[in-house]
Amino acid sequence: MSNMIRIIGIDPGLRRTGWGVIESLGNSLRFVASGTVTSDGEMDLASRLCQLHDGLADVIHAHQPHEAAVEQTFVNKDAVATLKLGQARGIAMLVPARAGLLVAEYAPNAVKKAVIGVGHGDKTQIHMMLKVLMPKATFKGNDAADALAIAICHAHNRQGLAGRLAKLAG
């Protein structure tokens, strides 16, 4: 039987970055914790990025995950907003990487497919399936729920990822 793996899912955002920690043992998933790291919208961009960095570093230190998963950014019509989201996403990838964690990336549709079975769905469906998959899960807001969904997506996909990485290394 495989060992328990603790996974942090991260839903990057400049205002609110959601995080969710689960444990995966074989096909079994267990909720550990979830929350949101926020930045002060009145501060300059660099200070806000520092707030996200420090908040995520505290979460990783507190929960000691083994692996991380981050949602990929979609491009929207507002180039400035997309660029800022990309910078927040950079922080979401940097913090776990600096902690020595494998960081996987998943498209939003892949996350939805892993959790609700189809690549398109709304937040209500994600929340409902999170409660089915992990009845003890608690989350405040969409950002924390999305982060848990990202962690679940990684738990479902990590075996194939580990095999592909082993082939590349060997």
Write the pLDDT tens digit of every residue in 34-63.
999 999 999 999 999 999 999 999 999 999
Q: Per-residue pLDDT tens for 93-136? A: 999 999 999 999 999 999 999 898 877 778 888 888 998 988 88
Q: Is 58 a catalytic residue?
A: no
Report whether 4 contacts 23 (CB < 8 A). yes
Q: At 55, is the secondary structure helix, strand, or coil?
A: helix
- Percentage above 90 pLDDT, the chain: 62
Q: Is 143 a catalytic residue?
A: yes
Q: Is 11 a catalytic residue?
A: yes
**Active-site annotation holder among 11, 23, 67, 146:** 11
Gap between the Cα atoms of 155 and 134, Å rounded: 13
Gap between the Cα atoms of 122 and 108, Å rounded: 11
Gap between the Cα atoms of 16 and 24, Å rounded: 26
**Active-site annotation holder among 23, 58, 122, 143:** 143
Q: At 51, is the secondary structure helix, strand, or coil?
A: helix
Q: pLDDT value at position 161?
A: 55
Q: Which residues contact 110 (CB under 8 A, 6 or more apart)?
A: 119, 153, 157
Q: At 34, is the secondary structure helix, strand, or coil?
A: strand
Q: Which amino acid is at 160?
A: G
Gap between the Cα atoms of 103 and 90, Å rounded: 11
Total length of the chain: 170
Quick count: other Cβ atoms within 10 Å of Cβ 147?
30
**Active-site annotation holder among 23, 71, 78, 146:** 71
